[in-house]
Amino acid sequence: MIKLIQFPPAFGLPNSSPFCIKAELLLKMASLPYEIVPISDPRKGPKGKLPAIEDGGKTIGDSEFIRRHFEHAYGVDFDKGLGSAERAVAHAFARAVEERTYWVLVYDRWINDRHWPTIRKEFFGGMPAPIRNLVAGMIRGKVRRALHGHGMGRHAPDEIYALGVADMRAIADFLADKPFLMGAEPTGADASVYPIVACLIDPPFDSPPKAEALRHANLVAYAARMRSRYFA
């Protein structure tokens, strides 16, 4: 059976990581049986990040290579029914949320001083007291450097949030009155877009992107629809 190696759940989300939620969604969309192996240390993943899967003696890291593995090994077409232009739009939306909105989320969780104490408690609260704050501070420093390297961390907080607001608005506008991003049925893009939306709106952090998402009833209903279909 496929092993899905991912973080433990947090904040009432199926997972603290949008990429781990994506990997699990892909398994569910493909109706592949799997078991979850929860680990807290991403360094144990083959690429030093999570999610990863083990399948047939192979270990595969990165949600996008996991998706490709399911497509090649099991013949799954996550974009079934879509034409080539629609597939291109689906691809672009997935890349937008994964390569940009994700970093707004990272800033919101790890760097915003109002949210950091809650994150520290949720992610590091299980560690022994003497090292808890030290380890949390070291990882926060690593995340800050990663944000700077990406470029997102070079913007002012209101600029970062403005980018997230624009992303939420674009998703809501494109979704319009469709049940799923690309139409009547879920496709691969939903495995990328829903996790980011859920990670912004479900945890107890107020932010301009969250406020923007909540302003769009269709986006809120979409998140609820995905949740009840796959994680009820």
- Say whether 155 sits in a helix, a strand or coil: coil
Nearer to ligand GSH, 28 or 49 (CB): 49
Angle 174-175-178 from CA coordinates, rounded to 5°: 135
Residue from 6, 21, 25, 42 in contact with ligand GSH (CB under 6 A): 42
Beta carbon of residue 64, minimum distance to ligand GSH (angstroms, whole number)? 5
Instruction: Give the residues across from 60 on adjacent strands.
Output: 53
Nearer to ligand GSH, 22 or 172 (CB): 22
Closest CA to 185 of 56, 79, 38: 79
Among 3, 28, 49, 132, binds ligand GSH (CB under 6 A): 49
Q: Which of 92, 102, 99, 77 is nearest to 174 (CA)?
A: 92
Three-state secondary structure call for residue 35 = strand
State which of positions 58-117 bind ligand GSH (CB under 6 A).
62-64
- Select from 21, 20, 32 the least CA-distant residue to 76: 32
Sole binder of ligand GSH in the list 30, 50, 76, 152 (CB under 6 A): 50
Which one of 6, 17, 101, 207 is in contact with ligand GSH (CB under 6 A)? 17
CB of 42 to ligand GSH, least distance (A): 4
Q: What are 3's two structure tokens?
A: 């092993």
- Applying CB under 6 A, the span of 49-57, 70-78, 148-156, 170-178 interacting with ligand GSH comes to 49-57
Name the minimum Å distance from CB 17 to ligand GSH: 3
Stretch that binds ligand GSH, among 43-51, 77-85, 156-164, 173-181 (CB under 6 A): 43-51
- Min CB(81)–ligand GSH separation in Å: 24
Is 136:124 a contact under the CB 8 Å cutoff? yes
Asked whether position 15 contacts ligand GSH by CB under 6 A, the answer is no
Q: Measuring CA to CA, how many Å separate 68 from each of 23, 49, 61?
A: 11, 17, 11
Distance CA 202, CA 196 (A): 10
